Chains A and B, each alone.
Chain A
Amino acid sequence: MSTTSIGQPIQRTESTSKVTGAARYAAEQHNKTAPAYCCYVPATIPTGRVVDVQTEDSVTLLWHSNAEKLGELEDTELAVLQSDRVSYRGQIVAAVIADSFETARDAAARVRVSYADEAKPDNELSAEHPSLFAPESVNAGFPTDVTVGDPGSALESAVHAVDRWYSTPPMHNSPMEPHATTAQWSDGVLTVWDSTQAPSGVQDDLATLFGVDPSNVRVVAENVGGGFGAKGSTRPNAVLAVMAARATGRTVKLALPRQALFDLVGYRTPTLSHVQLGADADGTLTALAHDTFQQTSQIFEFCEQTAESSRHIYAAPNRRTTHRLAVLDVPTPRWMRAPGEAPGMFAVETAIDELSYTIGIDPIELRIRNEPDVDPASGNLFSSRSVVECLREGAERFGWADRDPRPGHRREGRKLIGSGVATASYPVLISPSSASARIEADGSITVSVAASDIGTGARTVLRQIAADALAVSADRVELKLGDSALPTAPGAGGSSGTSSWGWAVTKACRQLVDKVGGIDAAIGPAEVTAETSEEIDGQKDLARMAFGAQFAEVEVDVDTGEVRVRRMLGVFGIGRVMNPRLARSQLIGGMTFGLGMALMGAGNTDLEFGGFSNHDLAEYHVPVCADVTDVEAMWVEEEDDELSPMGGKGIGEIGTVGSPAAIGNAVYHATGVRVRDLPITLDKVLPHL
C-alpha cells in the first residue's frame, strides 16, 4: 500500500468555507419555504408534575397533553413531552412554534405552566447517598466491579500507603455551535439537518420515535460546530423539532439557547473517587483500589467508567475497582470528552504523585517501576504500549532532570513555581462501519460514509486514507460525509471515528481497485460498498490503548493563590499519525480542555432550585487565550500492526486524560498544597500558602 497521503500535514478540506462563513450549520439551511421557529419551555421546578400549560399568544403550543405519542427507545431522555413528570429543572415541559424566532422566544417566555407535587431537589452527590447502587455495567460496556487478589489485606500490610478521596465537579461541553435542528416532513419523508456526531444513529432513533421506516428519514450534518460527546447521540432538540414540524406541517428550526446546553444535552457527572495504594519499600505497588461514586437522573441510567483506566495503567497483584451510581433529581449526565478516563485518571494519577512524595521517589521513576508487562485487567498482551517512552521523552524535552523535587522551594518574585507529571491512557475503540467508493466515467472519485466531522478534520483524514487505499493523490478524492443517506456509520465518539470509518473506507477503496483493476487505467462508472463487522470481530484478543505522558509547569501567586499554567507538554503513543497538523491541533485542544478541567470548569449544582446556577460562558469558565500560553503536543514513533489497516489510535480524548492531574501535581510541587477537589481555584490554595 502506498502511504503518500497518510502522514502528510494537509490542510482541512472545509477550512476556507468555515473561515469565510460559507459553511452552513444545522439551523442555517436555506429552505424553499419560510420556516417556523420552535422555542421550548424549561421546567422551573426541580421535581414534580405538569398540570396545565397555557399561552395567550397566537402560536402553536405543544405539551404532554397534545403532543403526539412517540415510539419507545432505551434513552428515555428522548421521550419528549410524553408524560407529566418533571425530573429535573430545565427539562422540556412545553414548546411554542411561531413564524419568527423573536415571536417564538417571547411567547415561550410567557407560557404559564402549572405544577403539582413540587418538592425540594435531592441533588447532592455523596458516597453515602441512600440511592447508590451498582449498575449492571458502565459506559461503553465495561464491567462495574473488578477485584483481583486480596486488596484489603495487601493494603493493610503495605510498607507505604496512600488513602485519599478525590472529586471532580459537574462539567459542561457547551460547544460553539449549540445543539440545533431544522426538521421538514414532505410526503411522509423526514429530512433533518441536525448538529450531531452521529447521523446514522439519529436516523434510526427518529425512525423509531416517529414510527417511520429508516429509509424515509434523512439526517444531514454537513458541518458541526463541536460536540465533545454532547452531540454523540440523538438529543431532545432533534425530537422536539421533528415533532413540531409534524404538528405544524412547516419546516421548523430549533436552536437551543446557550443556557439550555447546561441542562438539556448532558454533562460530565460529578465524581467521587476513593483511591488506596499500597507499595513495598522500593515503590512497587502491592495493591490498588479505586472506588467511585457518581450521579444519574431519575429518567435515564448513565454511569461513567471512572475507574476503568485504573484497571490497566499499573501492575499490582491485588486490585479493586468499583462504580456506584446515585439516582438524583438532576439533569441527565452524558458523554463528555474522555468520560471516565479524565476524572478517574485525575484521581489515580494524583494518588501516585502523593505516593511518590510519601516514599521519596521521583514520580516518573515510580511510574516506570510499576509498568506492567501485560494488561493487568485481562492478562492480554498490549498491541503496543509506549508509556515509558512517553515519560522518558517528555522528561527530556521538558527539562525534568533540572527539577528540585522539594515542594514549595522554587520562587520567582511573588510567584511559586512547580512542575508535575501524569500518565494518560485511553482505549482504542473501533466499531463496524460501511463506506462506498465510486469512480465515474471521467475518472473522478467519490468516497462516501455517513460519518460526522465535528471540527476534528475527519473529512480531510478520510480523504487521505482513501487516497492511499486507491493509490492516488488526495486531491483526486472527494469525500462525502455528514449525511445518513450515505453508507451507515457509527458516530464520532470514543476517539473511534477515524479507525472505524477509515477501515471501511480502506476496504471499499481496495475493493474498487480490485474491481476496476487499477484506478489510473480505470473506466467508470464503478462502485463498491464495504462493511467491516467481520474484520473487527476477527481481531486478536489484545489490549489496545493509546497512552501518553503529560507535563505541566505552573506559577502560583503567593498573595492571591492564583494558579496559571506556564507551559504544558504532552507526549503520546498513538500509533501512526494520519495528519500531523490535525493531530497536533486535536491533542493541544484536548490538553487545553484538561487545563480547563484542572483550574476552572465547574457547574455549580443549585441545591435550592435544582439544575445549575451558573449556565453561560461568562459564569462557567473555560480557558481563554490568556490562560493557554505554551502548550506543546508530540508523539513517539509507534508501529502497531494490530490496530486497523491504517495503524492509528484515536486522538480525540487522550490529550485530555492526564492533564488535570499533571497540573494539580505541579500546583502541589509549587506550593506544598494538595488540592484533591477540582477545579483548583484560588480559594482552595490561598488559605494554605
Chain B
Amino acid sequence: MKTFSYEAAVDVEDAVAKLASDPDAALLGGGTNLVDLMKLGAAQPSSLIDISKLPLDVIDVDDDGSLRVGAGVSNSDLAVHPVVRSRYPVLSRAVLSGASGQLRNMATVGGNLFQRTRCVYFMDSSKPCNKRDPGSGCPAIEGDHRNLAILGASDHCVATHPSDMAVALTALDAVVEIVGPSGAHKLPIGELYRLAGHDPDLDTNIGHDEIVTGISIPALPQQAVSIYRKVRDRASYAFALASVAAVLRVEDGQVTEARIALGGVAHKPWRAITAEGELLGRSAKHEAFREAIDLELRAAMPLRDNGFKVPLVRNLVTQTLTDLAHRSVQQ
C-alpha cells in the first residue's frame, strides 16, 4: 500500500478545500471499497480526507413522501428505514441484496455511489487496465469477462458498475446533491454516471473537488409498485450477473408508467429507456413486457462468454414486470 496522509474534515467546505488542494486526494467514507483497492494497489491516493464524522447521516422525509438521504447514512440504516421499506421497497431490497451485513454496517450511501468496478483486471494492479491505468489496454475483452458488460461498452473498457443501490436510485429518478468550490448544485443520477467511451478511467461526471452530500428521491405515485431483483452465482454476498430495479404503474390494465434500470450489464446503471417508451399505453401483459425488453436488448453486444446475459435479462425483466403488474392489479 502506498503511503498516504490522513485528515478528518471538520465540515463539507473544509473537505472541498482539502480535495481542491490535492489532485490525488480521496474521500474516505466507510472505506469498504477504497481501502481494499488501496491494499491491492488499484487505488493510490496521496491523502485520505475522512468525511465519515460529518453530520451527513440523516434521512429526512418530506410531507409528500419524498426523501432526502445524507451521503453518510450507512447502507444498513437506509435499508431498514421504515419509510424506505414501506414506500421504496425497490431501494430497500437493492441495498439488502448487496455485500454482507458487516459491510453494509460500514458502507455509506455516498461511498456506494462511487464503488469501482469488480473487473478482475482492474483490481489486479500487475495487469493492464484502461480504467486503472489509461492507455494500458483492456485484457477483459479477450479474457475473463463472464460478468462484464453487454450494453454500452467500448473498445476500451467492458467493465460493469457494481452497485445495487445505484440501480434502484436510477429507477427512482434520484437526484444527487453536490457541493464544490463554487457552491452547491444538483445532478440527476442518470447524468452522474458515464459510459466507458474513450475515458473509462472516469466513472462519473463529478469534479475531483466536488462532494456528494446527499441524495433526494422524489415520491413515487401512490399507485406505483416497485421491486428489485438480483441474479447472482450464490444466494448472498455476490455481485449481480444481472439485476433489475423496476417501477410500474398500471391503470385500467394499461401501463401508465414504467421505469426499468438494469444492473450488472453496463458501465453504469442502465436505464432501459427504449423499453420504457415502448411500454407506455400498452396492456400490462407478459407479451408486451417481453417485446419491450427485446427492443432494448437489440443494442446488446455480448462478448464471448457473457452472451447468457441477453436471455437472462430478457427473462428477468419480463417476469419481474409481470409480477409487478399482477401485484398492481391486486392492490
Contact = CB atoms under 8 A, between A and B. Distances in A.
Contact of A600 (B41, B118, B234): B234
Interface of B is mostly: loop
Nearest to B128: A609
A604 B2 CA distance: 28
**Most A C-beta atoms less than 10 A away, residue of B118, B127, B318:** B127
Contacts of A358: none
Nearest to A105: B1
A686 B312 contact: yes
Interface stretch (A177-185, A218-226, A426-434, A618-626): A618-626
A198 B234 CA distance: 34
Contacts of A559: 315-316, 318-319
B241 interface: yes
A136 interface: no
A482 B57 CA distance: 49
Contacts of B232: 562
Contacts of A191: none
Contact of B308 (A42, A105, A613, A682): A682
Given A559-B319, A600-B233, A624-B237, A106 B2 contact: yes
A627 B235 CA distance: 5
A565 to B, nearest CB: 9
Contacts of B179: none
A243 B183 CA distance: 58
Given A102-B1, A105-B1, A613-B120, A606 B237 contact: no
B287 interface: no
A626 B118 contact: no
A106 B41 CA distance: 10
B139 interface: yes
A619 B120 contact: yes
B118 A618 contact: yes
Nearest to B236: A626
A102 B231 CA distance: 38
B22 interface: no
A613 B143 contact: yes
B312 A560 contact: yes
B146 A683 contact: yes
Interface in B222-275: 231-239, 241
Given A102-B1, A626-B234, A687-B311, A614 B120 contact: yes
Contacts of B319: 414, 559
B180 to A, nearest CB: 33
Contacts of B143: 606-608, 613
Contacts of A109: 1-2, 41
A604 B234 contact: no
Contact of B144 (A604, A623, A625): A604
Contacts of B233: 599-600, 621, 681-682
Nearest to A595: B234
A627 B236 contact: yes
A560 B231 contact: yes
B5 interface: no
Interface string A168-180: 0000000000000
A305 B312 CA distance: 38
Interface in B274-310: 305, 308
A105 B2 CA distance: 9
Contact of B235 (A564, A619, A687): A564
A13 interface: no
A174 B139 CA distance: 26
Contacts of A609: 127, 139
Interface in A662-683: 681-683
Contacts of A615: 124
A623 B231 CA distance: 16
Contacts of B146: 683
A619 B239 CA distance: 9
B126 A599 contact: no
Contacts of B315: 559-560, 686
Contacts of A624: 234-237
B30 to A, nearest CB: 16
A221 B6 CA distance: 38
A370 interface: no
Interface in A603-639: 604, 606-609, 613-616, 618-619, 621, 623-627
Given A105-B1, A106-B2, A608-B142, A686 B311 contact: yes
A210 B237 CA distance: 44
A608 B139 contact: yes
Contacts of A618: 118, 237, 239
Contacts of A607: 143
B3 interface: yes
Given A44-B126, A560-B316, A618-B118, A613 B144 contact: yes
Contacts of A606: 143-144
A343 B235 CA distance: 24
Contacts of A619: 118, 120
Interface string A102-144: 1001100100000000000000000000000000000000000
B142 to A, nearest CB: 7
A225 B244 CA distance: 39
A559 B315 CA distance: 5
B61 to A, nearest CB: 31
Contacts of A42: 126
A627 B233 CA distance: 10
Interface string A153-191: 000000000000000000000000000000000000000
A552 to B, nearest CB: 15
B241 A682 contact: yes
B69 to A, nearest CB: 26
B132 to A, nearest CB: 14
Contacts of B318: 559
A621 B238 contact: yes
Interface in A461-505: none
B243 to A, nearest CB: 11
Nearest to B241: A682
Nearest to A90: B126
Interface string A206-241: 000000000000000000000000000000000000
Contacts of B238: 621
A663 to B, nearest CB: 13
A682 B312 contact: yes
A615 B124 CA distance: 9
B146 to A, nearest CB: 7
Interface string B64-82: 0000000000000000000
Contacts of A600: 233-234
A562 B231 contact: yes
A608 B139 CA distance: 8
Nearest to B305: A683
Interface in B1-22: 1-3
Interface in A407-441: 414
A44 B41 CA distance: 14
Interface in B165-201: none
B227 to A, nearest CB: 14
A562 B305 CA distance: 17
A411 to B, nearest CB: 14
Given A627-B236, A682-B233, 13 more contacts: A42-B126, A102-B1, A559-B315, A560-B231, A560-B315, A560-B316, A564-B235, A600-B233, A606-B143, A626-B235, A627-B234, A682-B231, A682-B308
14 contacts: A109-B41, A562-B231, A599-B234, A600-B233, A609-B139, A613-B121, A613-B143, A615-B124, A624-B234, A624-B235, A627-B235, A681-B233, A682-B241, A686-B315
Interface of B: 1-3, 41, 118, 120-121, 123-124, 126-127, 139, 142-144, 146, 231-239, 241, 305, 308, 311-312, 315-316, 318-319
Those 4 A-B pairs whose CB atoms lie nearest each other, nearest first? A626-B235, A683-B308, A626-B236, A559-B315
